[in-house]
Amino acid sequence: MKKTWILPAVLSLSLSGCFWPFSGGKSHVGQAPAGSGISVEVLDPSALSGGGRVSFMPFSAGADAEAGGTLDHLSLIMLKGFSDGLSQGSRFVLVSGNDASGADIVIRGHIEELRTQGHLKKMASITVRGDARLSKNESVAAVIYARQKVPAVAGKMDQAAYDIGSAIAEKLSE
């Protein structure tokens, strides 16, 4: 009895990368990159409903991000996105400098990750964590988390940072 099915089965397995003698026991299928997204979870809607004066402190370097010019630039672009997001009929007023001490809400956080990966197609990974706290009692009114994966070119990274800042303003203004 001929076993004609063996050759096609071996070929299909070896060509698909699943046949262990040729793949070293590892699958050649890479994991999909973690998704991008911006999340602002409002914990105390009543504290934000009245609006007020808000201070957005530029985000500093976190655990997996190196402090430097690029991080400082992206942090300021986030601040610009936040400012532009508030200027569209918001009940919040952005205060800075000497006026920041009188803010009702303070937004602080870290750029936890700022990493460039890849050889041929370089991608930048930006991860941000922060919160919006009420000044009077330091209670957390909102939690901020954002993860963006974009091509590692200045315009795309700037747009990702701007989008993060704008999304924070939009969510707090709802």
Give the CATH number, domain containing residue 161: 3.40.50.10610
User: Which structural domain, as residue segments, surrounds residue 102?
Assistant: 33-172
pTM above 0.95, yes or no: no
Strand ranges (DSSP E) for 5-139?
37-42, 52-56, 60-64, 92-94, 105-117, 123-134
pLDDT at 12 over 70: no
pLDDT reported for residue 8: 54
Query: Is residue 24 in a domain?
Result: no
What residues pair up with 37 in beta bridges, in sequence order? 147
pLDDT score at 117: 83
Number of folded domains in the chain?
A: 1
pLDDT (tens digit per residue) in 151-166: 888 889 999 999 999 9
| Res. 45: pLDDT tops 50 | yes
Mean per-residue pLDDT for 27-44? 62
Is 26 inside a domain boundary? no
Q: Say if 4 falls within a structural domain.
A: no
Q: Is residue 49 part of a domain?
A: yes
Whether 13 maps to a domain, the answer reads no
Q: Would you say residue 41 lies in a domain?
A: yes
